[in-house]
């Protein structure tokens, strides 16, 4: 974030929240600086002076997103005593977040910049890194299940199971964007968890 020499004439926190809403609605490439200035209520010069480039602003937006809408699914992995309960809670929290009535029905990590111009590759890689960290978090929770005796290391392919449930998370977001209802998404979660035993005891 750039240093500021004059007193601010706007609330940076409120401006960042409005920027998040625009990026969430339109995606990274679909959002222009002019749309951001209108939504944030500040001049483009103030955006560049305080937040940096559009890319820098988006990275700050995603940090905020991760601390708000992205937090419940991540926290669910640590808040339950068994790996199965933790994974189930993560999926349920994902469904809750992507069907909120006050926000677009998709996860920004999945769909804010899935494709686009080559000059925006750093943003796509930035989001991919966060998704990889989610995969690692799921993998770590499964390994904890092994350490605690819930899962058998000789039968559970931790990487395969982690990738399966990470794929379910990503698929839920696409289904929600395409109009799937809360009940339909919950049925996906039910189906995904029905396969838990087969997934975690396969040699």
Instruction: Kindly list the distances between the CA atom of residue 174 and the CA atoms of 59, 63, 72, 109, in Å, as whole numbers in the listed order.
Output: 22, 22, 19, 11
Instruction: Kindly list the distances between the CA atom of residue 126 and the CA atoms of 60, 88, 123, in Å, as whole numbers in the listed order.
Output: 12, 27, 5
- DSSP per-residue string spanning 106-165: S-HHHHSSSS--GGGHHHHHHHHHHHHHHHHHHHHHHHHHHHTTSS-TTT--HHHHHHHH
pLDDT attached to residue 203: 52
Q: Domain residue spans in the chain?
A: 12-66, 69-200
Q: Are 19 and 39 in contact (CB under 8 A)?
A: yes
Q: Per CATH, the architecture of 12-66 is what? A: Orthogonal Bundle (1.10)
What 3-state DSSP class applies to 31?
Answer: coil
pLDDT attached to residue 5: 53
Domain 69-200 falls under CATH 1.10.357.10: yes
Of the candidates 51, 50, 61, 80, the residue with the CA atom closest to the CA atom of residue 20? 61
Q: What is the pLDDT along the chain (203 residues), one digit of tens a residue?
A: 444 455 577 899 999 999 999 999 999 999 999 999 999 999 999 999 999 999 999 999 999 999 999 999 999 999 999 999 999 999 999 999 999 999 999 999 998 888 888 989 999 999 999 999 999 999 999 999 999 999 999 999 999 999 999 999 999 999 999 999 999 999 999 999 999 999 999 75
Of the candidates 19, 26, 30, 97, the residue with the CA atom closest to the CA atom of residue 58? 19
Burial class (CB in 10 A: 0-12, 13-18, 19+), 118: exposed
Alpha-carbon distance 171 to 6, whole Å? 46
pLDDT attached to residue 2: 47
Instruction: Kindly list the distances between the CA atom of residue 169 and the CA atoms of 32, 131, 137, 181, in Å, as whole numbers in the listed order.
Output: 29, 10, 13, 15
């Amino acid at each position: 974030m750039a240093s500021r020499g004059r007193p601010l004439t706007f609330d940076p926190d409120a401006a960042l929240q409005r920027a998040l809403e625009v990026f969430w609605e339109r995606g990274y490439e679909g959002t222009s600086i002019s749309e951001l200035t209108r939504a944030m209520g500040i001049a483009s010069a103030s955006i560049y002076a305080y937040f940096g480039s559009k890319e820098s602003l988006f990275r700050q937006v995603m940090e905020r997103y991760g601390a708000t809408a992205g937090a419940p699914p991540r926290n669910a992995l640590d808040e339950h005593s068994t790996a199965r309960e933790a994974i189930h809670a993560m999926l349920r929290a994902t469904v809750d977040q992507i069907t909120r009535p006050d926000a677009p029905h998709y996860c920004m990590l999945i769909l804010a910049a899935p494709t686009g111009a080559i000059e925006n590759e750093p943003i796509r890689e930035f989001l991919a890194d966060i998704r990889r960290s989610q995969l690692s978090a799921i993998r770590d929770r499964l390994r904890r299940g092994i350490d605690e005796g819930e899962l058998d290391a000789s039968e559970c392919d931790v990487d395969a199971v982690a990738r399966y449930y990470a794929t379910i998370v990503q698929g839920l977001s696409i289904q929600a964007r395409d109009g799937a209802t809360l009940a339909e998404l919950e049925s996906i979660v039910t189906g995904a968890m029905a396969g838990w035993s087969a997934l975690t005891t396969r040699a």
